[in-house]
Structure 1
Amino acid sequence: MRILLIGVNGEIGKILQPELSKNHEIISAGRNSGDFRIDLSDTNSIEKLFKEIKQIDACICIAGDCYTGDILSLDEEKLNIGIKNKLLGQVNLVLIGQHYLNNNGSFTFTSGKMGDKPIKNNIAKAIVNGGINSFVLAASLELERGIRINVISPAKVSDIPVDDLINAYLKSIETTANGEIIKVNY
């Protein structure tokens, strides 16, 4: 399988890339690293990436910035960091990428525990992760050509057994799962 992996230099990317490359061809992309550059907050950058890379079977996104801080420090500008990068970035990967992904391909996104179980000082993450989860549930009902979409919602990565995290992403790309929020070690 030919997999576009976005966010290779992040914590999850450093775990996934070597594992996935054992059985799949990985094309890596990131803001500052990887085979290709992408700015998730820029639709032109997303379109350019999909035009440059051909024959993609799966797109996995494990990238996207988000603000952490209490409600007194939160304002629209800080909230928009996560909305523009992580939420709309992943949404736009589908809106644009669905036209380039191979038939029966898949999108796998990453949200996080805060979408379901927020803790103090993480309102922006709760909004963004919850939005990603809702988008995946809705988009799975409408994607055509057999294209599937799922989201991995992990707890704090340092608290998750590596195999559980890897298996969640493998479930999304290697099975027929569609429209699932795959929770990892809540």
Structure 2
Amino acid sequence: MSEPQTSGDELAIPSELKVLHDAITATMVAALPQVRHVEAYPVLKEGMKLPALIYAMTAVEPATKPGDGRLCVRATFEACILVESKRKMAPLQAAILAAKLMQLLDEQYWDVEFVDQVRGVQAMPSEMIPELARCTGWSVLWQQDIYLGDTEWPWENEPPGSLVFVVGPDAEHVKPEELA
């Protein structure tokens, strides 16, 4: 994917990240109707509808390169489920919503082709955030490999599809796409 066009104060970001965040938000909204507000990178403000699910990508590290010109990064995401503290059994309600989010994350690809499945999912009660003193929360963390950039064919003299591998004791010729 190519870089998106930007204007004014907007920074250029790899478009895969924007597509992924849009897909995550849409999937969470559709799958978790109990949550009244889902937002990535929110500005915490008074009057946010609760229960809420806010999330962000909180870390990125190199991952195994696919060898096709793209960069693979392992992204860590953190979501926070917020429930009004004055609700009856608020900590349990937050834990239940966190468990529902964990269910949604199980083997999740967000219907985009440039990510591997979610892994390393864990949940725990959230630390207290002063701006959210009226809330009880649970945090859910997960990791996902993301492939950034366009694929490239590094062999100029060979058109795509002309590469074959010799495999097995009978020296059988196999095209790479047949190995998938």
Q: Do Structure 1 and Structure 2 share a fold, with TM-score over 0.5?
A: no
Structure with bigger helix share is 1
TM-score by length of 1: 0.28
TM-score by length of 2: 0.28
